[in-house]
Amino acid sequence: MPSTLARRLDAVQPSVTLAMNAKAAELRTKGADVYAFGVGEPDFDPPAFVLEAARAAIEKGVSKYTAVSGIPALKQAICARTSEVRGWSPKPSQVTVSVGAKHALFNLALALYEPGDEVVIPAPYWVSYPEQVKLCGATPVFVETTAEAGFKMSPQAFEKALSPRTKAVILCSPSNPTGSAYTADELRAIVDVWKKSDAWLIVDEIYADLVYDGFKHVSAAKLAGDAMDRVVIVDGVSKTYAMTGWRIGWSIAPERLAKALDTVQGQSTTNATAIAQHAALAAITGPQDEVEKMRAQFEKRRSVMIEALRSIPGVRCRVPEGAFYAFADCRSLYGVPFKGKPIASDEDVAFFMLEEAHVAAVPGGAFGAPGYVRFSYATNEERIRGGVEAIKAAVERAKKG
């Protein structure tokens, strides 16, 4: 009998993003100037003192294994920073430093989810949430949201999704892909419903420092009260400090779960890269003015992107509270001719934009939101305007035949 792959992979959806990236790369090899609105990372450099900390670590000979859950100084800094900006105070024993926030989420999946379990996930969602659930044999349970409701899950819909099999709930605020974020009152209402269950509450706060118009991020852990022993916060340096490639994230969990995460990680990556941990330590403990400059730039770019997208006839796009994504309803482009037939899906829209306007964006179906397209504004204002103008011109050409 021939060797076979594990059947758990059958449940995982192929990534349309990879197909988009491959097509964009092909266009670039042909000399096309592709507008990169699909990328999920800041286009800024990390603060200079972070780079210097990495150099200093190399010169000091930082090249050996660390403790699985991270160097003590970084774990202590994560706790101090959490206390300062999130308003609650974890202990270093609760922190597991991982190879990015995605790794932290995968550690949690391996430690928590089993066949028969259900995990509640509001839609639209980041693409990896349900796939990690399915890889562990559990079942994602989606709660639909709408643009009119700010892409935020209502307490009523949430309560209906809970069952005796619910093992966990995953929230992301501010959200990838929508940029929506829960106010304190909205989050408190969700937490109140969750407290009635026995489920874990996992909150991805990776974009929490990138919020706009004076929005105040509130950590769910601050609202959990006597249910704190079932709350997990996931965060990292990737977005806040433009350090995506350094791959440093973390989870803050009750000690009993943190010990389990240490076991899981100890059999996979062991520790996150030692030098990157020292760079992350510098980022967290150093001056934060570069973070504010980057946040302010994103706020300006958000306005440019939203205004530009709304100038495309029929396209609708709400103003997001945070992150660096605009999530646009592009169903008005259905019917536009493309390759001899009318556009009929968000995937068609995305490939039309890529091939006819050289704009790379991500179709909303990948996030559980057919009809929408995610545009990253992690690029300069000139590129944003130029890319959207290219889309408008491509639509006009297609309609004229």
Q: What is the pLDDT of residues 270-280, one digit of tens each?
A: 999 999 999 99
Neighbours of 352 (CB within 10 A): 22
Give pLDDT, residue 2: 67
Rounded Cα gap, residues 239 and 248, in angstroms: 11
pLDDT band for position 3 (cuts 50, 70, 90): confident
Q: What is the pLDDT of residues 194-241, one digit of tens each?
A: 999 999 999 999 999 999 999 999 999 999 999 999 999 999 999 999
Fold of 48-285: Aspartate Aminotransferase; domain 2 (3.40.640)
- Give the least confident one: 21-25, 94-98, 357-361: 21-25
Give pLDDT, residue 14: 75
Give pLDDT, residue 342: 97
More confident residue, 53 or 400: 53
pLDDT > 90 fraction of the chain, expressed in percent and rounded = 93
Strand pairing class (249-252; 325-329): unpaired
Instruction: Extract the tokens encoding 321.
Output: 């509270």
Q: What is the pLDDT of residues 333-345, one digit of tens each?
A: 999 999 999 999 9
Give this prediction's pTM. 0.96
Give pLDDT, residue 109: 98
- Give domain limits for the chain: 7-45+290-400, 48-285
Give pLDDT, residue 22: 82
**Equal fold, 7-45+290-400 vs 48-285:** no
pLDDT band for position 85 (cuts 50, 70, 90): very high
CATH architecture of 7-45+290-400: Alpha-Beta Complex (3.90)
Give pLDDT, residue 303: 98
Give pLDDT, residue 39: 83
Q: What is the pLDDT of residues 97-149, one digit of tens each?
A: 999 999 999 999 999 999 999 999 999 999 999 999 999 999 999 999 999 99
Instruction: Please say if the pLDDT value at position 73 is more than 80.
Output: yes
Average pLDDT over residues 374-384: 97
Give pLDDT, residue 1: 55
Instruction: Please say if the pLDDT value at position 173 is more than 60.
Output: yes
